[in-house]
Structure 1
Amino acid sequence: MSTKQEKIANFDPSQPGLADSSIFGLPFTAEESDIIVVSVPWEVTVSYGAGASNGPEAILNASFQVDLLQQDYPELWKLGIYLDEGPQHWAEKSEYYKAKAQPIIAALENGEVITENPQLAKDLAEINNASAQLNSELKERVLAWYAKGKKVILLGGDHSTPLGYYQALSTIHDNFGILHFDAHMDLRIAYEGFTYSHASIMYNAIQLPQISKLVQVGIRDFCEQEVAVVKSSDKVAVYTDKDLKKAEFEGQTWQQKIDEIINLLPQNVAVSFDIDALYQWYCPNTGTPVPGGISYEQATYALSRLADSKKNIIGIDLVEVAPGEDEWDGNVGARLLFHMCGVLAKNNGLHTGEPIIF
């Protein structure tokens, strides 16, 4: 059997990725890879557009066409990136409980009270229990990879999926912040009765005592309850898309704004990136699109700026990529994920090569 160094010597990164290999067509096993991407194909509480549970597969399929000579991190591929596709029952349970959730959502939209319908109330409790079980299983899976010395990135699914990941990070780190890119605050409390709704992920996250700061970037959709959560918590700082654009229009550079944002974060930082933070033309099929957003280049610049800062990036998640009839959403997701792998690797002292300057 070939060693990792032999595989590196015999692999041609200029050719299309190997279709029978892991993500990005790399030839390395999980044991040989420094970075593990954990896939969580889950979207039980989706209340508008569907498809996020298919995001990890779409990103995997598109990843084989990503050129591995990334300008900022040209030797990243040599570290090894491996996709842990998770247990099959995650995808199966997602479909099962998603079907149970839809009548609950429909009833609420018709003005019904769920507690007055015994069957729907029973189903709601069952969904909340299943989501809690997912969080527990994901936490243990992530911790198992960390115990093997791996760097771990989470690939959702909808935005409810990272909670078990944050619980794992909370086991390892007693103080960290989240840099959150999103169109939405996701600070609703048990949205539509679902304790672990995709719209409640950041509310649930800031309940963890180890999370000392949440800095939200690109926000352009929120409700009164979420504003109340922000105003009642010293943990949360919000940079709406409107305010970011106003600063830009009035002469403040993106670099200045990103440095300001980074300075608000504690030493240890996890990044949560909902793809709908971007302009919709990058992610036309994401579940809850909102006009406005940041560009792909603004996003990668911000992430690279964080990588080059004195902060420690302890984790990254990418969520809400939902494929359409073409491969565009998966293509953007795959390229953003590859950049994120470089950001995590470089910030953690792994060799990614010198940036290519023309």
Structure 2
Amino acid sequence: MIVEESVEKFDVNGPGIQDKLFGLPFSPENAKLIIIPVPWEATVSYRTGTALAPHSILKASRQIDFFMRDIPEAWKLGIAMLPIPDDIRIESDRLRLLLEQHHAALTEDHDTIIISNKINESCESLNIYVNKTTQRYIDQGKMVGLLGGDHSTPLGFLRSLSEKHDRFGILQFDAHADLRKSYEGLTYSHGSIMFNALKIPAISKLVQVGVRDLCDEEYQLIKRNESRIKTFFDDNIKADLGNGKSWESICKDIIRDLPEKVYISFDIDGLDPKLCPNTGTPVPGGLEFYQATFLIKAVVASGRRIIGFDLNEVGTDESSDWDANVGARILWQLCNWMGVSNKR
């Protein structure tokens, strides 16, 4: 079914379609924006559950109303998610068992190189999968977003984008800097995603927002690379707001450091943990929902183009779908503002 037929037959005011992202009537074949689900949490260092996020967000997304005052008929953009790959989830679970052995060996001061090498090899295999999958849809002229999983998942996507774009920046929403060279012996740890991203020459700027939990090594790296890394620490943001500076003005400062092409990396723990209580590593403080969405909108209003995005670290709770509900709403905003920025 072509897009026009899908749109004509769909009741925007009725219940969404079962097992479709946001309940929308689009498929990967006719959608303009493709979501790549990556149910992977092989490197999480605290609480697990993020590998279930693609399933949880898919389910919660059907509860969202489509109307956006700023984007008329936003739902017509054409958004679809690929099937969630069970083999990735199975491999992630297998590596979680290895990681528990790894943690025990670290505690007992045993040799951990063999285990860490196995995990690193599997993580690189995931990077290759993500690279090839995202590249396939980029080559088709589609917009692409990634849904994790832990925050290690988008590295292959960033590599894909670097093959198409000579220069772009990353806008990172996060409680953590994610600039560790490695963590627990893992080269591709979720705590190292931005360190690894900065190895990609095409990434000219990293702008971080909401950071409030980092180690000395990461802070020193930021200080040594002030021309390439700009961090808006959460306590400084709160101080500016307390001194009467408007959020709009702060957003202008954030955006000023971004190049024309922007990739948004959205770790849900960049938000206040009341909005994501089951994320893997929650930290007090953070952004309100409206602050995050205002900033995304402001990036687009500035004339910058969103060339891709990821949403990661959305936790799960069997007794509540609150985290998935918030995650689905962030995903909806990311999708539609990317569409606007690409004039779709």
Q: TM-score, normalised by structure 1?
A: 0.93
Match of 1:60 among 58, 64, 73: 58
Equivalent residue, structure 1, for 2:159: 167
In structure 2, how many angstroms separate the alpha carbons of the residues matched to 1:250 and 1:259? 17
Q: Deviations over 1:18-64 (max 9, x none)?
A: 114x2011111212111100001100011111101111111000011
Instruction: Give, in angstroms, the shift of residue 111 of structure 1.
Output: 5.5
Instruction: Give, in angstroms, the shift of residue 183 of structure 1.
Output: 0.4
Equivalent residue, structure 1, for 2:241: 248
Is it true that 1:223 corresponds to 2:211 in the alignment?
Answer: no
In structure 2, how many angstroms separate the alpha carbons of the residues matched to 1:281 and 1:206? 31
Equivalent residue, structure 1, for 2:92: 94
Equivalent residue, structure 2, for 1:334: 328
Equivalent residue, structure 2, for 1:212: 204
Q: Deviations over 1:297-335 (max 9, x none)?
A: 000000001111121211111100011121100000011
Equivalent residue, structure 2, for 1:199: 191
In structure 2, how many angstroms separate the alpha carbons of the residues matched to 1:97 and 1:220? 29
In structure 2, how many angstroms separate the alpha carbons of the residues matched to 1:87 and 1:48? 24
CA-atom RMSD in angstroms: 1.2
Aligned pairs, number: 342
SS of 1:29's partner is coil
Letter of the 1:38 counterpart: I
Is it true that 1:38 corresponds to 2:36 in the alignment?
Answer: yes
CA contact (8 A) 1:38 1:152 kept: yes
Which structure has more RCO (C-alpha within 8 Å, separation ≥ 6)?
A: 1
SS of 1:203's partner is helix
SS of 2:34's partner is strand
Instruction: Give, in angstroms, the shift of residue 112 of structure 1.
Output: 1.2
Letter of the 2:331 counterpart: L
Long gaps (5+) in structure 2: none
Equivalent residue, structure 2, for 1:136: 128
In structure 1, how many angstroms separate the alpha carbons of the residues matched to 2:53 and 2:42? 14
SS of 2:170's partner is strand
In structure 1, how many angstroms separate the alpha carbons of the residues matched to 2:74 and 2:164? 25
Match of 2:109 among 93, 108, 112: 112
In structure 2, how many angstroms separate the alpha carbons of the residues matched to 1:301 and 1:33? 26
SS of 2:195's partner is helix
Equivalent residue, structure 2, for 1:355: none
In structure 2, how many angstroms separate the alpha carbons of the residues matched to 1:348 and 1:167? 20
Is it true that 1:147 corresponds to 2:146 in the alignment?
Answer: no
Is it true that 1:276 corresponds to 2:273 in the alignment?
Answer: no
The share of aligned pairs that are identical, in percent, is: 43
In structure 2, how many angstroms separate the alpha carbons of the residues matched to 1:51 and 1:310? 37
CA contact (8 A) 1:18 1:25 kept: yes
Is it true that 1:346 corresponds to 2:344 in the alignment?
Answer: no
Equivalent residue, structure 2, for 1:178: 170
SS of 1:216's partner is strand
Instruction: Give, in angstroms, the shift of residue 17 of structure 1.
Output: 0.8
SS of 1:192's partner is coil
Equivalent residue, structure 2, for 1:298: 291
In structure 2, how many angstroms separate the alpha carbons of the residues matched to 1:251 and 1:37? 39
In structure 2, how many angstroms separate the alpha carbons of the residues matched to 1:184 and 1:74? 35
Equivalent residue, structure 1, for 2:250: 257
SS of 1:180's partner is strand
CA contact (8 A) 2:37 2:85 kept: no
Letter of the 1:36 counterpart: I
In structure 1, how many angstroms separate the alpha carbons of the residues matched to 2:108 and 2:298? 47
Equivalent residue, structure 1, for 2:316: 323
Is it true that 1:190 corresponds to 2:187 in the alignment?
Answer: no
In structure 1, how many angstroms separate the alpha carbons of the residues matched to 2:29 and 2:82? 11
Equivalent residue, structure 2, for 1:288: 281
Q: Deviations over 1:220-259 (max 9, x none)?
A: 0011110111122231111111000101111111111111
CA contact (8 A) 2:134 2:144 kept: yes
Instruction: Give, in angstroms, the shift of residue 101 of structure 1.
Output: 0.9
Instruction: Give, in angstroms, the shift of residue 180 of structure 1.
Output: 0.5
Equivalent residue, structure 2, for 1:308: 301
Q: TM-score, normalised by structure 2?
A: 0.97
Instruction: Give, in angstroms, the shift of residue 73 of structure 1.
Output: 2.2
CA contact (8 A) 1:51 1:322 kept: yes
In structure 1, how many angstroms separate the alpha carbons of the residues matched to 2:278 and 2:72? 30
Instruction: List 4+ stretches of structure 1 deviating above 4 A.
Output: none
